[in-house]
Structure 1
């Protein structure tokens, strides 16, 4: 069942939900079917693999988060749930991907028909269907744990410029630096896109498997044709505790371990990167403050080492003051200074002026939420949008621009951030 608030009143479907324990599967991606609606959320071999659509809503505009949250509350209230596991992520669960900007952009919240979850030594299968459709057979759960046929290797991929060439994008960065120097704003994040022609329709399980293998510390995701492996957790809520991982400040790795250690040390001392990081941490702390009774984060960031780049990173932790669901917290945090800039309103306006493209759901929240409001919402970075023909893929990367930024260095940083998805398509 797919609905849209634009079409009138939204009726929540009456769903029957059953979660049962199962043996721990080794590879969640291997369970995904080769076609249809596929959902993936993976971190260090834990997470979810889902397929089918039991219910879905599309929202747009400034109220996209609120409309999705209202629909989800109606769905949870109408559902009949039998949960034999009782962990965050069991029972009724939805997956969402939200547009970066109010307009244009389409956002989606989906309830899969089948969801296989893994958390530590626990694993489960949740089956969901409308009451009118009847129940599944008793043998269906075992069938969901059987690996499917593996995806075929894609043809060689041809890449081309997106909305702007590298030279044109450097010009936009230079203009942003000029605006910052003039005092118009403190920081802005500018993104660029890269187009990939896959020839034949792409089986998204191929890049998902490679991303999950190559970037286990990231969150590999696929929701409504948006896929990637993001290192940045916008907000996680679990039983009253809220955490957020803030990344801002980047340096490219060389592959030489000793040299990379020296680069990490220089990143930790870089005034330009520390300034950019401070803006991002401040924006997250200020957004979470109204919802928390206490908050903590270290005075100085640590350096997060990924296979392609290193980031300055700070983990923010807060104790919830109320029962605000994780999606509402994500809405309050979006867009953080890590993907928008400072001040937010001025930065978002400059993004619309200088980027020359529609970000779509790139840099918007992507993740999941259960009926209790617990969940994880990451920022859709290191990501790509699969076209309707499934032959074209649009890759994205963005860089934080401050007064000391250099256009050529920012272009090199954006190219490094395109590496995960670019390599995964190969």
Structure 2
């Protein structure tokens, strides 16, 4: 796929063609600041020290409302699970080792991730997957991003998914963030489902995990914003697969020249995808998992006026250049009191967003 798609309920940005590629935030920001670029779109990797995949596109279409996929998109082909990294038993062992670190006071929270390798006999069309996910998850942000700008290891690869989590939206200097942290699987039984959701909302462990996220976001926004509004507690929200705790945080930029890209860079990675303290959590993740690539990164756009949307790159997969392979990720926040088996189940529930769209 050559291009960029981000579809939210209120606005869709679809870009194609390339005027210039950016592998670092500084050059992308300079192009916007100096008026060389009308819009920058793409993805930030999970690790802040990795190359970004940002593009000045040739053609940009911005429409109100969600994306309307073309009628001629092919159906995604059958796929199979080729491998799980790590296997479930190893993921459980990793969670126990993280809990040991928390007990020792090394970290307060670490997001433990695992990935599933998928294989197909015929190419997977990223836009076809995005279209399927848009139908299945109409309240999520559907995304598909060419990662080629990040370098040869990503050439022709596409990041595609349907994320429920808004990192930041900027409109005319107004800032909105809606972090998610604290998760429980949905149930087909309405009574069980309702009980599970309310149990999540009243869970001291999950509310504490959520507070790690909102506190850090507020801390990072205070130097940038006035009139910062942070609710005293989270609310319950859901996708078809999981319940989440969510908080809507708002403010007004002190300097209108600070655009959505700069705010996204200041916030990313939040404790919702990394942990806290941030540097200790990132070091733990590097040592345990290695490179997460763009899983848990951010996908979005920013125009020359500073307006833009950036969502957290979760509930998706990275599709190879030939379309025959894909990697799907999921993670869960480990804090004091986390149950390893429940955390494994949480990642399984989160993977359903992508796997379900592929018929698994």
TM-score surpassing 0.5? Answer: yes
Q: 1:197 aligns with which of 119, 132, 140?
A: 119
The answer on 1:329 being equivalent to 2:263 is yes
Q: CA deviation at 1:100?
A: 1.1
- Matched with 1:160 is 82
- Matched with 2:39 is 93
Q: 1:107 aligns with which of 48, 52, 55?
A: 52
1:282–1:70: structure 2 CA closer, same or farther, 3 Å change rule?
Answer: same
Question: In the alignment, is the contact (CA less than 8 A) between 1:154 and 1:198 conserved in 2?
Answer: no
Q: CA deviation at 1:187?
A: 0.6
- Matched with 1:68 is 28
Question: In the alignment, is the contact (CA less than 8 A) between 2:81 and 2:118 conserved in 1?
Answer: yes
Q: CA deviation at 1:330?
A: 0.8
RMSD of Structure 2 on Structure 1 (CA): 1.9
- Matched with 1:15 is none
* Residues paired across the two proteins, number: 347
What CA distance in whole angstroms lies between the structure 2 residues aligned with 1:106 and 1:389? 22
- Matched with 1:278 is 211
Question: In the alignment, is the contact (CA less than 8 A) between 2:201 and 2:207 conserved in 1?
Answer: yes
Question: In the alignment, is the contact (CA less than 8 A) between 1:206 and 1:425 conserved in 2?
Answer: no
Q: CA deviation at 1:322?
A: 0.9
- Matched with 1:243 is 176
1:204–1:223: structure 2 CA closer, same or farther, 3 Å change rule?
Answer: same
**SS of residue matched to 2:5:** strand
Q: 244-253 or 43-52, which moves further after superposition? A: 43-52
Q: 1:257 aligns with which of 183, 187, 190?
A: 190
- Matched with 1:8 is none
The answer on 1:52 being equivalent to 2:17 is yes
Q: 1:150 aligns with which of 56, 64, 72?
A: 72
**Scaled by the length of structure 1, what TM-score is found?**
0.78
What CA distance in whole angstroms lies between the structure 2 residues aligned with 1:309 and 1:256? 13
Larger Cα Rg: Structure 1 or Structure 2?
1
Question: In the alignment, is the contact (CA less than 8 A) between 1:106 and 1:361 conserved in 2?
Answer: no
Question: In the alignment, is the contact (CA less than 8 A) between 2:4 and 2:42 conserved in 1?
Answer: no
**SS of residue matched to 2:114:** strand
What CA distance in whole angstroms lies between the structure 2 residues aligned with 1:330 and 1:45? 19
1:96–1:154: structure 2 CA closer, same or farther, 3 Å change rule?
Answer: closer
The answer on 1:294 being equivalent to 2:227 is yes
Q: CA deviation at 1:217?
A: 1.3
The answer on 1:119 being equivalent to 2:52 is no
Q: 1:216 aligns with which of 138, 153, 156?
A: 138
**Scaled by the length of structure 2, what TM-score is found?**
0.92
Question: In the alignment, is the contact (CA less than 8 A) between 2:28 and 2:40 conserved in 1?
Answer: no
Question: Can you give the 5+ residue segments of structure 2 that lack an aligned partner in the other structure?
Answer: 147-157
What CA distance in whole angstroms lies between the structure 2 residues aligned with 1:148 and 1:341? 39
The structure whose RCO (Cα within 8 Å, separation 6+) is larger is 2
1:269–1:413: structure 2 CA closer, same or farther, 3 Å change rule?
Answer: same
